């Protein structure tokens, strides 16, 4: 474990902001929170992914809202999995001064095979730990779901003093709230009429081995006034000391409209004894006990371990793929099955004022389709029983011309996504504007048809009908099975096929239109090669489905003719014969675009096709030599050569296309081993750009800093796919050459 100076706390960064990479993610498949390595909840929207924020310190260090737990005792706190880091003891505190000489180290890690985050503080005086998680129920019905955020603080050895601050900023820090501390000082209620009401309380424990009558550690909440920094309501704070074995658990929950005996009975499966500080069950004082909280932690641990255990991938990068799968699981909205692109909004793709800050808390058909493919490859038990229902509902929610929207909200609708700039928020590291909603929702992006059709095709192709495996049961709304389904593959139902072939027909009628494509440019529509290729994929997969399942296709001849026409046009108009590469678009024939790396991945061409290999060689050149690669990382395109309408500026290397290049190299490596060696080396190098808990951003800066919303689904999806395919290429190579 490497010890190095750390800047984990915002107060120890020149900008006052904790780096994006210095956060872990916790969630409950309804919402998710970023927790910094200094123990601060820096981003959380409640009650759902697309709800307004309650904590958004990551976007405004002064009044975005935060919930911090830090040690006041000089400590060393280590960050396991990969590194030990050094932080000031007053981390993430806006009141910290440079005169405080305290030094600390901390470790943050996920408990094995879970999404439970543990931050450990170490010193000669003592060792403490903060464990953060959202409860997950092993039961399958929603009545057992508890939308709580639990922060368990304990001392493992010696004695440590902690300070807790909870300063929410409701409705994107736009609304006022009232704060009421209970008479016993153990709980507080935050009420915001414009957003929601929250209840936080502390539960103390003398420890597992404490004798009868042992005194409990004490917590007394006090009001915290941060109005001078722009807060519109009071927070609370408390300083407390814990000895070995003692603990304080803080529970944040939305205030129930009523706390009844029926509600208590619904939790009876967790524990048969509940207690409350006052002995009276009220909305302000819900029944809590340390026994119940331990039970919740146990059930949550069991849930994640069981989920992880159903990931069948046993290749060289199992841990990498499992952590990516766990991250993707946190991006799933369980009530509908939607998959959000990221749990955050407006984290900048550029730190020099370009304004490339977008809201990713919605479900893109493109991202979701690739996610399904990657997770099917792992044969993970997704428990996304509603995803295809969500997709089926979204497919019925069409544009007036019969096409699909590129993105939907987490309920498969299109409302609530209007783009708005929050001018009162500073932006991460001062990068404005802060946007909520997404103006790309109305874009024409023809490529989504290809990704959607490919996902449907692969779902029926890769699904292995096993009676006990819910992975493949999730496709039940779109597929049917014969009576002896445990022994046969699923097939697309007739009703679904009618819907699907309608999308193929639509693609045949609209493929030749200019669009804004995968990069969602905000400039002039063009004939982007990526979109043309994916339109080819949409029609090709429709033909494959019809042929393999003997499904009726009245317009089969039109499909064949259009598919072939697209292929010919891409080859004749999209390939720059002089520069020898596939171009960005027909209009930008001299511009390289790494999106074309998708070609062999979707079987538009072979990975050893001379034209494609020429394109790979061009992309792999350094940027100062006209290529798109620096330090083994690939950029989307040269922003100085393209007016994409997004404000210009220097963006980072793109994680997804970097992985596409690696996967393309691995496929080419089946014909030329040197490409495979390059792929393995580049993959290992790229994995090093994940953070201490193996989360990936959308982009990476020149200095290796994550850029864009975090963590990003597409990056993790691409990593899973790349690991799987590089692994497969290595196995194939060794079978063909036993001496390798």
SS (H, E, C) 205-218: ECCCCCCCCCCCCC
Measured CA to CA, the distance from residue 414 to residue 416 in angstroms comes to 7
DSSP alpha helix (H) spans, 556-605: 556-573
Measured CA to CA, the distance from residue 718 to residue 734 in angstroms comes to 24
- Do residues 555 and 508 lie in contact, with contact meaning Cβ atoms separated by under 8 Å? yes
Cβ within 8 Å of residue 56, ≥6 positions away: 42, 43, 44, 64, 65, 169, 172, 173, 425
Q: Which class for 73: exposed (0-12), middle (13-18), buried (19 or more C-beta within 10 A)?
A: buried
Stretch (H or E) spanning 735: helix 713-736
Please tell us whether the domain made up of 2-266 is placed in CATH 1.20.120.
Answer: no
Residue appearing with tokens 């500026």: 649
Measured CA to CA, the distance from residue 72 to residue 70 in angstroms comes to 7
559-582: b (≥16 Cβ within 10 Å) or e:
beebbeebbebbeeebbbeeeebb
Q: Is the peptide bond before 47 cis (omega within 30 degrees of 0)?
A: yes
Beta bridge partners of 706: 700
400: left (phi over 0), alpha (psi -120 to 50) or beta: alpha
291-310: b (≥16 Cβ within 10 Å) or e:
bbbbbbbebbbebbeebbeb
Cβ within 8 Å of residue 193, ≥6 positions away: 175
Alpha carbons within 13 A on the beta-carbon side of 304: 29
Token pair for 567: 């292929």
Q: Is the peptide bond before 433 cis (omega within 30 degrees of 0)?
A: yes
Closest CA to 333 of 371, 376, 293: 371
Closest CA to 200 of 264, 255, 162: 255
Q: How far is CA 277 from the centre of its chain?
A: 37
- Do residues 670 and 607 lie in contact, with contact meaning Cβ atoms separated by under 8 Å? yes
Measured CA to CA, the distance from residue 603 to residue 345 in angstroms comes to 34
Total Cβ atoms within 10 A of residue 228: 9
Closest CA to 716 of 179, 246, 244, 339: 339
Measured CA to CA, the distance from residue 293 to residue 249 in angstroms comes to 8
Q: How far is CA 706 from the centre of its chain?
A: 14
DSSP code, position 60: -
Measured CA to CA, the distance from residue 44 to residue 522 in angstroms comes to 29
pTM, full prediction: 0.89
Helix (H, G, I), strand (E, B) or coil at 332: strand
- Do residues 381 and 307 lie in contact, with contact meaning Cβ atoms separated by under 8 Å? yes
Q: Mean pLDDT, consecutive 10-residue segments, the chain of 740 residues?
A: 32 78 96 96 98 98 97 60 40 37 65 96 90 88 82 95 97 98 94 97 86 85 96 97 96 75 50 40 62 93 93 91 94 91 95 90 91 75 61 86 93 93 97 94 93 88 52 38 37 85 97 94 93 98 94 97 98 98 97 98 96 98 96 93 74 96 96 94 97 96 93 96 95 72
DSSP code, position 52: P
Q: What is the CATH number of domain 326-736?
A: 1.50.10.10
Cβ within 8 Å of residue 374, ≥6 positions away: 324, 328, 716, 717, 718, 720, 721, 724
* CATH 1.50.10.10 residue spans of the chain: 326-736
Measured CA to CA, the distance from residue 549 to residue 490 in angstroms comes to 10
Cβ within 8 Å of residue 127, ≥6 positions away: 120, 121, 155, 156, 157, 158, 160
* CATH 2.70.98 residue spans of the chain: 2-266
Q: Residue count of the chain, please give it.
A: 740
Token pair for 131: 């464990």
Closest CA to 130 of 224, 293, 250, 241: 250
What confidence score (pLDDT) does residue 311 get? 86
Token pair for 44: 């959380």
What confidence score (pLDDT) does residue 123 get? 84
- Do residues 354 and 647 lie in contact, with contact meaning Cβ atoms separated by under 8 Å? yes
Measured CA to CA, the distance from residue 207 to residue 243 in angstroms comes to 9
What confidence score (pLDDT) does residue 15 get? 76
**Sign of torsion over alpha carbons 14, 16, 17, 22:** positive
Torsion angle defined by CA atoms of residues 584, 585, 586 and 592, in that order, rounded to the nearest 10 degrees = -10
Measured CA to CA, the distance from residue 353 to residue 432 in angstroms comes to 7
Closest CA to 156 of 116, 132, 121, 205: 121
What confidence score (pLDDT) does residue 573 get? 98
């Amino acid at each position: 474990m490497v010890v190095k100076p750390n800047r984990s706390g915002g107060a120890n960064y020149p900008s006052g902001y904790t780096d994006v990479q210095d956060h872990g993610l916790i969630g409950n498949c309804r919402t998710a929170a970023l927790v910094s390595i200094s123990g601060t909840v820096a981003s959380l929207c409640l009650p759902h992914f697309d709800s307004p924020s309650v904590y958004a310190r990551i976007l405004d260090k002064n009044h975005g809202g935060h919930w911090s737990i830090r040690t006041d005792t000089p400590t060393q706190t280590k960050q396991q999995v990969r590194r030990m880091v050094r932080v000031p003891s007053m981390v993430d505190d806006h009141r910290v001064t440079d005169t405080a000489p305290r030094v600390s180290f901390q470790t943050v890690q996920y408990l094995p095979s879970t999404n439970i985050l543990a931050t450990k503080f170490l010193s000669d005086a003592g060792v403490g730990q903060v464990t953060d998680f959202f409860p997950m129920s092993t039961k399958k019905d929603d009545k057992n779901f508890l939308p709580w955020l639990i922060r368990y603080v304990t001392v493992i050895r010696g004695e440590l003093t902690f300070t807790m601050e909870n300063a929410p900023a409701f409705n994107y820090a736009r609304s006022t709230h009232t704060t009421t501390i209970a008479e016993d000082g153990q709980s507080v209620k935050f009420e915001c009429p414009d957003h929601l009401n929250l209840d936080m309380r502390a539960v103390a424990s003398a420890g597992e081995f404490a004798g009868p009558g042992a005194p409990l550690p004490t917590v007394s909440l006090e009001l915290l006034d941060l109005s001078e920094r722009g807060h519109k309501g009071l927070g609370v704070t408390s300083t407390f000391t814990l000895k070995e074995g003692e603990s304080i658990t803080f529970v944040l929950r939305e205030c129930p409209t009523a706390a009844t005996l029926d509600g208590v009975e619904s939790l009876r499966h967790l524990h048969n004894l509940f207690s409350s500080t006052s002995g009276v069950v009220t909305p302000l004082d819900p029944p809590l006990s340390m026994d119940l909280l331990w039970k919740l932690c146990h059930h949550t641990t069991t849930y994640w371990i069981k989920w992880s255990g159903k990931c069948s991938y046993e290749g060289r990068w199992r841990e990498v793929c499992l952590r990516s799968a766990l991250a993707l699981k946190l991006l799933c909205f369980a009530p509908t099955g939607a998959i959000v692109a990221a749990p955050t909004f407006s984290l900048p793709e550029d730190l020099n004022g370009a304004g490339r800050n977008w809201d990713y808390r919605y479900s893109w058909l493109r991202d979701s389709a690739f996610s399904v493919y990657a997770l099917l490859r792992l044969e993970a038990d997704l428990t996304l029983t509603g995803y295809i229902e969500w997709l089926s509902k979204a497919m019925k929610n069409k544009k007036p011309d019969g096409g699909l929207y590129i993105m939907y909200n987490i309920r498969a609708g299109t409302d609530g996504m209007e783009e708005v700039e929050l001018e009162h928020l500073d932006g991460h590291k001062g990068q404005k504007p802060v946007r909520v909603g997404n103006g790309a929702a109305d874009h024409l992006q023809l490529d989504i048809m290809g990704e959607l059709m490919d996902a449907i095709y692969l779902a029926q192709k890769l699904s292995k009908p096993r009676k006990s495996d819910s992975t493949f049961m999730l496709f039940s709304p779109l597929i049917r099975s014969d009576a002896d389904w445990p022994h046969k593959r699923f097939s697309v139902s007739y009703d679904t096929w009618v819907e699907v072939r309608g999308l193929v027909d639509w693609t045949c009628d609209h493929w030749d239109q200019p669009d804004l494509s995968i990069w969602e440019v905000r400039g002039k529509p063009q004939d982007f090669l990526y979109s043309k290729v994916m339109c080819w994929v949409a029609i090709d997969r429709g033909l494959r489905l019809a042929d393999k399942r003997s499904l009726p296709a009245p317009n089969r001849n039109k499909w064949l003719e259009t598919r072939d026409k697209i292929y010919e046009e891409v080859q004749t108009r999209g390939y720059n014969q002089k520069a020898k590469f596939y171009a960005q678009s027909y209009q930008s024939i001299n511009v390289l675009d790494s999106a074309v790396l998708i070609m062999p991945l979707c079987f538009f061409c072979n990975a050893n096709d001379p034209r494609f290999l020429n394109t790979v060689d061009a992309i792999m050149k350094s940027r100062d030599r006209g290529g798109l690669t620096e330090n083994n990382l690939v950029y989307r395109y040269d922003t100085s050569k393209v007016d994409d309408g997004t404000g210009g500026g220097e963006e980072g290397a793109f994680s997804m296309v970097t992985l596409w290049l690696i996967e393309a190299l691995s496929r080419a490596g089946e014909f030329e081993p040197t490409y495979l060696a390059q792929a393995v080396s580049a993959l290992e190098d790229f994995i090093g750009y994940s953070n201490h808990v193996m989360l990936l951003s959308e982009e990476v800066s020149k200095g290796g800093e994550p850029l864009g919303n975090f963590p990003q689904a597409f990056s993790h999806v691409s990593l899973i796919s790349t690991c799987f395919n590089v692994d497969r290429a290595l196995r194939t190579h060794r079978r063909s050459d036993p001496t390798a």
